[in-house]
Structure 1
Amino acid sequence: MPEALVRSLTPGVLGVLVRRGADFAAAEDAVQDALVEALRVWPADPPRDPKGWLITVAWRRFLDATRAEVARRRREDVVEPAPADVPDQDDTLRLYFLCAHPSLSPSAAVALTLRAVGGLTTRQIARAYLVPEATMAQRISRAKRVVGGVRFDQPGDVGTVLRVLYLVFNEGYSGDVDLAAEAIRLARQLAAVVDHPEVAGLLALMLLHHARRAARVTAGGALVPLARQDRGLWDVEAIAEGVEILQRALSRDRLGEFQAQAAIAALHADALVAEETDWVQIVEWYDELVLVTDSPVVRLNRAVAVGEADGARAGLAALAGLDESLPRYAAVAAHLREKGGEVEVAARLYAEAAAKATNLAEVDHLTRQAARLRAGGS
């Protein structure tokens, strides 16, 4: 059976163990053991009831772990026998809320979500984030201790869950797990259990961004700016699905930041060529996004849109007053200065932006931009 099926069953299995009385951390460890065993056994001997198989194996692993720590008599009084009938309910949403607990750091929440809800192993998560497995194991262990005392029925914050999923998505692909695709899978899962326009907005945003993935880099790994991407490489099915999901969300008239971002992405996707992009409408959506978030980063991106809609001078006016230490400030300023014909200033700013960038592909792109202008290129 495919690994995706095994991982998709994780929330339900973990929820059953927790509702049977298992501590969250111990239950999560037991479920991970069961998932590993499933990947080993199922290809040759697939079960008729995959979820039931996982619950049985995970519960046995939990009991075995408990026996190793507690005296037999005390153990039997505490954890045996297992309840005969546990209601078959979907605990996915509760697990999302638990893993995105506000007391966790963003990195810890992301790691715990990928493991407890996504069903990824510690090794897979470590490889995806390019950190040693021991480091990731410690991060997950600390996160589990933090949420260990949280009641499983305690209500959570949808906004926090969505921000965690968006962090996962923005990591993209950096190991043997495609985090962008994994975030979309988890967002679909979340949308299936919670009726909220911002959940739909985030799923739409992910689909619209992911649709452009094949055109974002050259064969050599160099970044390709949106205006120069081969739009024939865009995934039209993903775009159509994202737009449909977004339209349903917007029709509920409960605008949030992810819906507004998705609307901007949809306008980019709607243009057959870069020159047909409706920048005026994009600026209007950025105005809505500023009202919702009042984010300096949103204002920075709005300045780019204003520059495209109304010219470089207007874009630079929109940029004025923003903190120059903002990420990508120098890159945006460089783009607007170049658009206004200030080539030497733009080249200097591109070089400055390259020095501040942390992503290697972005460093390479900005360095090339500076070199192009210094060589008199276009």
Structure 2
Amino acid sequence: MSKLFTPIAAGALSLGHRVVMAPLTRMRSGPGDRPNALMREYYAQRASLGGLIISEATPISRQGYGYAGAPGIYDDAQIAGWRAITDAVHDRGGQIVMQLWHVGRQSHPDIQPNGEAPVAPSAIAADGYGYAAHGPVPFTMPRALERAEIGGIIAEFGAGAARARAAGFDGVEIHGANGYLPDQFLQDGTNMRTDDYGGPIENRARFLLEVTRAAIAAFGADRVGVRLSPSGTYGSMSDSDPQATFGYAAAKLDELGIAYLHVVEPRIKGTELIAATKPVAVRHLRPLFRGTMIAAGGFDRAGAEAVLETGDADAVAFGRAFIANPDLPDRLRLGLPLTPYDRATFYGGDARGYTDYPFHAHAA
């Protein structure tokens, strides 16, 4: 049997196979940023016996938004909708963790409360677009956070984790990847601070580690994961020494005893690396992190099996393939063909391209 379909433990999470559903922003929440019945159907479709789902990125505050329509976890009124989702996943024998999110500078006043500027470690703008209710908007110049504000945001991560626990989630994942707020603090291309949250790596990693501790206080270390993208450049991210920066972060997260580290791999096109010039991947971080390692980033079955065989990763997260194939673990296990995805329906909309993808007749 392929190692992809053998059991594994990730902290307190006991998984029957190693095909993980990656966090996927779909922007289909209801009024008040509350999860709805359509979302419940979507997650229930993708739950599998012994499988792990990582929820779509979920803002821990109104300030944390860069994509209108994302479901929140900043209000107690959002708990009931999430509880319906976790119950549905558990009814199918699956487990689900919530990814906690603050976009930092990757936003626009049209998405922010009271039309305010987005916040960031430093006043440095990012390239790219957010999604306001009226459509895409370019990222704008952020305001540098005051030292006194940082503790409040860390507390919001903790409160979000506590609400996720009340909603029946099996754990939480800190979104420290893709150029969002923890990543902005971590990398020296976006963090020019001169206080105790800037400068040397020990200071730049402080925000990520304190956010992780806040989640641990709500859930326990063995139910907390962290996602990192060491070689990612999305959102104009850069670091002068990514191996040192992310190596330090991985080692410190290891000391916290978290359930897993979720690493976005550098993307490869042919033999050319589409990422940083000094890529950092799971194979670089594996010696520094003793817990479960989840790899993500354009994997197919063969690639997933290969990274598991090397021991660099213990599980593999699949994203776009899971959008179009709700029964993806069965399809991979049985070698069945995959349904292609429709990129035009990824962000926002209704059931089309969301809950109408077919199950394979021979997958069971």
Q: How does the TM-score come out when normalised to structure 1? A: 0.28
Larger Rg: 1
**Which is strand-richer, 1 or 2?**
2
User: What TM-score, normalized by structure 2, do the two folds share?
Assistant: 0.29
Higher RCO structure, 1 or 2 (CA under 8 Å, sep 6+): 2
Which has the larger helix fraction?
1
